[in-house]
Structure 1
Amino acid sequence: MNAPADLVRNLLHATLNSYSRTELARYLDVNPATIARWINGQSEPRAYVAQALQQLLQPQAPARSTPAEFTFIDLFAGIGGIRKAFEQEGGQCVFTSEWDSYAQKTYHANNPDGQRIAGDITQVAEADIPPHDVLLAGFPCQPFSIAGVSKKNALGRAHGFADATQGTLFFDVARIIAAHRPRAFVLENVKNLHSHDQGRTFAVILQTLREELGYEVHYRVIDGQHWVPQHRERVVIVGFREPTDFSWDLLQLPENKLPTRMAQVFHRTDGKEPVLAHDGDKFFDHAKGEVNPKYILTDKLWAYLQNYAEKHRAKGNGFGFGLVDANSISRTLSARYYKDGSEILVSRGAGLNPRRLTPRECARLMGYPDDFRIPVSDTRAYKQFGNSVVVPVFREVARMIKPWIVSPKADQG
């Protein structure tokens, strides 16, 4: 079904006041030339185009009822999990960068504030980023080439972070910190960052932050399973421009006597599953009170996964699928979950094929509330949640560092 051409042309003209044609093409997953043909009436767009453009043109969110307590920028933002956490603690996002167009779509759907998302951060000048109190970044993990740096050290020559980190995305984090000198930063990465490239990557990062940029730096691996029923360890690095008495001993774990379990994530089949207008029956059939059967594994895939697990058990390996029930804590949800769902399969009882988690269940497993919109395909949603953060973990991090990023304590050092 095609959308009325005049409607789409009007929406395109309105949207192009705020976004470039290239940005729109990435958002709509089409070629820029396709947008030109739509504008010129040479081809007719599908119905989803009008809906997507209308969503992008949603009116700006209402003004905050209370002034923001601090400002932050959101780099390598993904779908906005760290942003959500810091907003919950009174922060205001003043700049966002995320290169993936599908992640941008989900980010826009959940943050309809009219703020543009910068794409490739390597192409953004420091001067184009507004002042901010906190820099947030879940930057990708890359090895550094330190041969040149080692040679300079051997020759007694000085070098800066640009020499050590150029060509990696961490360089962009460092150059923005150097230019803006925010009161604090929060960096997130996989647990393996600590041992990546035989520890050289982490060593360069710490040296850059402490010695080159002059920040007080603290880091810790935090497991998300204290807040959600998922074993998910991530390294969190926080840094302060001024001296503080910050300590990870301030970390407050939830006071639940019993840890969270998968029952809190699963769709409810007792008639109490909430009806979400933005989900409809996409994931859960409310009339039947059951999860959409498309998430149940086929006989062929289930047989393959069982045979694969048995083959490795015979070799003494621990590889294989992870089966969970209502009382379980799951393995780590990964970005490859869309392939076969093997790391977290939901048991449906003896003799029945298990099923994958639905994207809504993945959202819950990452600590997102049910009002979080999922405007992309299942495949994209699985990748996005697998790459995201456990939101309540970072709300706790925001709470911990807040005393040193808001006035007057932040100004006192």
Structure 2
Amino acid sequence: MRNSVFTFIDLFAGIGGIRLGFEKAGCQCVWTNEINQYATETYKVNFGDRDFVLNDIKKVDIVEIPVFDILCGGFPCQPFSIAGVSKKNSLNMPHGFEDETQGTLFYEIIRILREKRPAAFFLENVKNLKRHDNGRTFAIIKGALEDIGYSFYYKVINAKLVVPQNRERIFMIGFKDKTIDFCFPEIPTINPKIKDILDKDVHEKYTLTDHLWNYLQKYAEKHRLAGNGFGFGLVDVNKYSRTLSARYYKDGSEILIPQKGKNPRRLTPRECARLQGFPDSFKIPVSDTQAYKQFGNSVVVPIVEILAKSLVRTLNDKPRRRVSYSTERQMSMSFT
């Protein structure tokens, strides 16, 4: 079936950055899960609360999740314990990849994929996931997905091509139909500048106090003399910034905007949203502290959109049988 609307579920949804990207690719979200109440507040204000589940994903019963085509999730990377295969062999215990992911939030992805068997998955994580524990964690993730019958493609992408931020993330895509050959698309080189996302009028509360600015300068000088690279990041507004982190609310020192005749300032929450590629129509109902955490933890929406469109094109190239979400709901209702 070609050019149809693909449905997806949004796991570890945060404030909906992945959802925005997939909706821009023409997909329909049919179920969402998030555990943080503040992120949920932002998500619901922007997307509504239909089919939203505020709960620990480990407590979700699979039957609660409707039929869908694509599983999406920026899952937290908890430590993976790797038990010795030889020891498990001697005890006649299972030692497959799936067994080694139990106890982690990633296992919930495996659980849902195994039971629901969607056509594809889309996962996002920090770049260092590939190197964690000398590559063993990434090998377990790849192996667990392949072990339940999915292909596995990945690529590290730097978002600075489309937003003015040096932000490298790893994206993982896979298909139930292993005959599908997927190639990550080229990311257009836009190379925007920090000045493109700045507000013209900014409240004085975002300007650093003399005390904080003096502290940051002394801290940076201390590490410079020690030969370290630690310290504040005063941005050249004609270039891109460092990576926005969830810790930005603490002092904003990793991305500071210079100001004529006064101390530098932090980004505003709206500027952080733009730095992540969120449209200005995206509502920010929470405090500055929560907003900084939420945008620092989010994805770069335009990157997700580009990858989602490529994933959709790939699925549309393969004829398939599917039960639509609306049909599945009608079938469920008819038996109640």
> TM-score when scaled to structure 2?
0.90
User: Following superposition of structure 1 onto structure 2, how do residues 213-228 of structure 1 map, counting pairs within 5 Å?
Assistant: 213-228=148-163
Name the aligned partner's letter for residue 263 of structure 1: K
Give the C-alpha shift of residue 409 in structure 1.
1.7
Tell me, in whole angstroms, the C-alpha distance in 2 between the residues paired with 1:227 and 1:241: 30
Give the C-alpha shift of residue 399 in structure 1.
1.1
Give the C-alpha shift of residue 162 in structure 1.
4.4
Alignment pair present for 1:254 and 2:164:
no
* 1:329-360 Cα distance to aligned partner (Å, 9 max, x none): 000000000000000000003x5200000000
The answer to whether the 8 A contact 2:269-2:292 is kept is yes
User: Following superposition of structure 1 onto structure 2, how do residues 21-100 of structure 1 map, counting pairs within 5 Å?
Assistant: 69-100=5-36
Residue number among 188, 192, 196 corresponding to 1:264 in the alignment: 196
Residue number among 286, 296, 318 corresponding to 1:409 in the alignment: 318
Name the aligned partner's letter for residue 264 of structure 1: D
Identity over the aligned pairs, expressed in percent?
57
Tell me, in whole angstroms, the C-alpha distance in 1 between the residues paired with 2:86 and 2:303: 37
Moved beyond 3 Å, runs of 4+: 153-162
Give the C-alpha shift of residue 267 in structure 1.
0.6
User: Following superposition of structure 1 onto structure 2, how do residues 77-226 of structure 1 map, counting pairs within 5 Å?
Assistant: 77-112=13-48, 114-147=50-83, 149=85, 151-153=87-89, 158-210=94-146, 212-226=147-161
Q: In the superposition, relative to structure 1, how do residues 118 and 130 fare at CA in structure 2: closer, same or farther (>3 Å)?
A: farther
Alignment pair present for 1:399 and 2:309:
yes
Tell me, in whole angstroms, the C-alpha distance in 2 between the residues paired with 1:387 and 1:150: 39
Q: In the superposition, relative to structure 1, how do residues 386 and 68 fare at CA in structure 2: closer, same or farther (>3 Å)?
A: farther
- Alignment size in residue pairs: 318
- 3-state secondary structure, aligned to 1:369: coil
Rg bigger for which structure?
Answer: 1
Equivalent residue, structure 2, for 1:355: 265
Residue number among 281, 291, 297 corresponding to 1:387 in the alignment: 297
For structure 2, the residue ranges without an aligned partner over 5 or more in a row are 322-336
Name the aligned partner's letter for residue 56 of structure 2: D
The answer to whether the 8 A contact 1:404-1:410 is kept is no
Q: CA RMSD in A?
A: 1.8
Give the C-alpha shift of residue 185 in structure 1.
0.2
For structure 1, the residue ranges without an aligned partner over 5 or more in a row are 1-66, 269-289
Name the aligned partner's letter for residue 386 of structure 1: G
Q: In the superposition, relative to structure 1, how do residues 167 and 328 fare at CA in structure 2: closer, same or farther (>3 Å)?
A: same
The answer to whether the 8 A contact 2:220-2:230 is kept is yes
The answer to whether the 8 A contact 2:98-2:107 is kept is yes
The answer to whether the 8 A contact 1:403-1:410 is kept is no
Tell me, in whole angstroms, the C-alpha distance in 2 between the residues paired with 1:147 and 1:331: 37
Greater Cα shift, 70-79 or 238-247: 238-247
Tell me, in whole angstroms, the C-alpha distance in 2 between the residues paired with 1:198 and 1:105: 38
Equivalent residue, structure 2, for 1:40: none
Q: In the superposition, relative to structure 1, how do residues 175 and 90 fare at CA in structure 2: closer, same or farther (>3 Å)?
A: same
Equivalent residue, structure 1, for 2:280: 370
Q: Which has the higher contact order (CA 8 A, sep 6+)?
A: 2
Equivalent residue, structure 1, for 2:219: 308
